[in-house]
Structures are given as structure tokens and as C-alpha cells.
Structure 1
Amino acid sequence: MSSRETALREQGPAFLPKFDAAGLLTAVVVDSRSGEVLMVAYMDEAALAATLETGFAHFHSRSRGRLWKKGESSGHVLSVDEIRTDCDQDALVLRATPAGPTCHTGARSCFYRRLESGGLVRDGT
């Protein structure tokens, strides 16, 4: 990539997502109200396009090898309020309003445990 292209991506107004070799971007989802990190997932071009079109978070499931809408079976969708990109456009932050728990375990956030004294402690315990 030329220095002009790099400058355009890093400082210009054009949205030029930089997908990795597998065709993915890292997407960090945060709660629009609290700022709490809810989950981290991956988006390919189809997931990004579906998210932009519908306003609901879609991701690429690496384990299933397909597009999935967050909450498609549980109803716990993520309504996307804002999408931010980092300086080189290879990662996104989705500010979203969750309709229920975000984690498949039923926890509000996928980050419900913290590392403490070499072990994991669940929040609230």
C-alpha cells in the first residue's frame, strides 16, 4: 500500500475497512448506555453489510463458518447505535443497545469473570 493510500485510510473521510487474510475484522461490542464491553466477535464483508443495512449486529461465526445475526435464536439482539473504527480501519467498536443478555451463558456480558490470584472469579461473588 502506498503512503498516499495509507494516509487516506488513516486520516481521510472514506470508510475503507481493512480485512485480514481470512477476510475478517475484529469487532468489540460495548453497551451504548454504560460503556461496558459486552463481547468481541468477527465481521466479514457480509456481516458488516448486513449490520449497516439492518441496524442489528451481524457477525461471521468462525465455528459455524457462516453469517449470523446476534440473537437470531435467543431474541437477544444488539441494536447498533454507532460504529467506530480504529486508525488503520482493521478493527471496529460497535456501540449497541442489547435486548437481554449478550453472552450465550446468560450473562449480561461475555466478560463476567476476572483474573485474580491466578484463577477466575465471577463478578458478583
Structure 2
Amino acid sequence: MSWLEKVSWTEDGLVPVIAQEVGSLKILMFAWMNREALQLTAETGQAVYWSRSRNRLWHKGEESGHVQKVHEIRLDCDEDVVLITVEQVGGIACHTGRHNCFFQKLENNDWVIDQPVIKNPEDIYHHE
């Protein structure tokens, strides 16, 4: 049995993935992988996700250059969530130009942004 067979995939053939920064252990982002994305991640040592909005494979950093170098891949006890420990190249994991995607914190019944933009997204993504 292939190691990919052990993963409990959703009906859509996806598995939720948490990207955690090696060293700091901060949660950088949440995304999805299909079978091919997980296999490519394991083979290449760089995070490859399944973009539901684009309906295609998404090599993290393909546009921004902010790739994720994978140190470890883990499967949870229910075999339905993957945790990858990564080195975040450039220190920016979020498309908003922040270190991670969890920059909104609930305070007094309101979402407050508590992390600065490291780099303006317009300077990261050059759409012509």
C-alpha cells in the first residue's frame, strides 16, 4: 500500500494542510492538497498545494518567490489532516504581505489586525 493510501481524503480528493514554521513553530497558513500535490511536496521538498479557487496545483511561491522548504510531513491520528513544517523563504507566507495568514485577532467582539505588512502585495505580485 502506498503511503498516500493511508491519508483519509475528502470526497473531493483533498486533505487539509497546516503549514508550521520550523524553529518558531508559528502556524503560517492553512491550505488544501490533493494526492498529486502531496506527492510533489514529498518529492521536491517544497510545498505544493491545490488551489480550489484556481482549480489547479499551486506551487507555493510560484509568483511571489516566497517558497516553503519542507522539513517534515506529518499525518494526524485520524489520518485526515497533514502538518508540514517549513522554512518560509522571504519570511512572508501570506498573499497580504504578512508573515502568516492569521493576522486578525478577536478583541471586544471585533477582528483587529495585529501584524504589520512586511511587503506591499503590489510589490510582490507583478500582474501585467
TM range (shorter): 0.7 to 0.9
Show structure 1 runs of 5+ residues with no match: 1-13
The percent identity for this pair of structures is: 42
Q: In angstroms, what is the RMSD of aligned CA positions?
A: 1.3
The answer for the alignment partner of 1:122 in structure 2 is: 113
In the TM superposition, 1:64-75 aligns within 5 A as 64-75=54-65
Please point out which of 29, 33, 39 is paired with 1:39: 29
The TM-score, its normalising length taken from structure 2, stands at 0.84
User: Contact 2:98 / 2:115 at 8 angstroms: preserved in 1?
Assistant: no
TM-fit CA distance, 1:113: 1.4
Corresponding pairs, count: 112
TM-fit CA distance, 1:124: 4.9
The TM-score, its normalising length taken from structure 1, stands at 0.86
Show structure 2 runs of 5+ residues with no match: 117-128
Q: Which runs of 4+ in 1 moved over 6 A?
A: none
User: Contact 2:17 / 2:84 at 8 angstroms: preserved in 1?
Assistant: yes
CA offset digits 1:36-56 (Å, max 9, x no partner) = 000000000010011011000
